[in-house]
Amino acid sequence: MTLIKKVSTSSRNGDVSALLTLIVAAFAKNDWTADTYLSSVIKTIGEYDTSLTEALKRLQVFSQMADKDHARDMVIRSLFKLVEGYTHIPIAEVQEAAVVVYDVLDQYGLGIQFDDQAKESAEINSLLNDLAKPDIAAANAKLQGVADLVAALTAAQKDFETVALQQAEGEGAKQDLATASKLKKAALKELNDNMVGYMNTMTKVKPDTYKATAQTISELIDSNNEKVKRRRTESETEADAEVI
């Protein structure tokens, strides 16, 4: 009877990353140096664990960049719309101040939010510098909410630049880092093709040495596979509900 089942190939990158970490920890509770084959497998699994963790962190930064970029885009839209709205208010002082500010915004255009991220950053920084000029800042002060949006855009731009710097540093240090999906595929192959069969065989040959660890790994993999299965079932149920 098979003790350890293979890891579901439907496991997500994050699933496999978490599973690798737990399996490495399970093996670490014993000294396997006498088993050269298993030691090599454990070393390989550990390397995949480290690499996949780094890859997912890198992907998280990309995701954060998209979120931060969206955040500043939303502020830009609000700023343009608010100032444009003030240009239609029939109060001379307000309208005059709004035209001064809108003329600055119009030089850049609402379309800057659709530029590539690097170009948009340059445009936003230039816009913020223009909006900080004394005469423009004075006009902003006459338009309720505009100064707050300028401050919000400044903060959003700083947030984006912070994450962009993290991404650039990670890119420079990890030029040859494989993608998370490729790492997951390779890690699953190592687990399913090399570790599972070997541990099942050695559990029968030397149960006193291997069985306890094999049982722990079996439970970890079963838990992962059940989570994957449950997630797939829930997705199918939702799809059926939509059809109905």
- Asked if pLDDT for residue 77 goes beyond 80, the answer is yes
Query: CA 38 → CA 30, 35, 90, 185, distances in Å?
Result: 12, 6, 80, 20
Write down the pTM of the prediction: 0.59
**pLDDT digits over 204-232, tens only?**
999 999 999 999 999 999 999 999 999 87
Least confident of 3-17, 120-134, 158-172: 158-172
Residue 48 and residue 180 in contact, taking contact as beta carbons nearer than 8 Å = no
Long-range contacts of 53-56 (CB under 8 A, 24+ apart): 53/17, 53/21, 54/174, 54/177, 55/13, 55/177, 55/178, 55/179, 55/180, 55/183, 56/13, 56/14, 56/17, 56/180
**pLDDT digits over 135-183, tens only?**
999 999 999 999 999 999 999 999 999 888 877 766 544 544 457 888 9
Number of CB atoms found within 10 A of residue 213's CB: 19
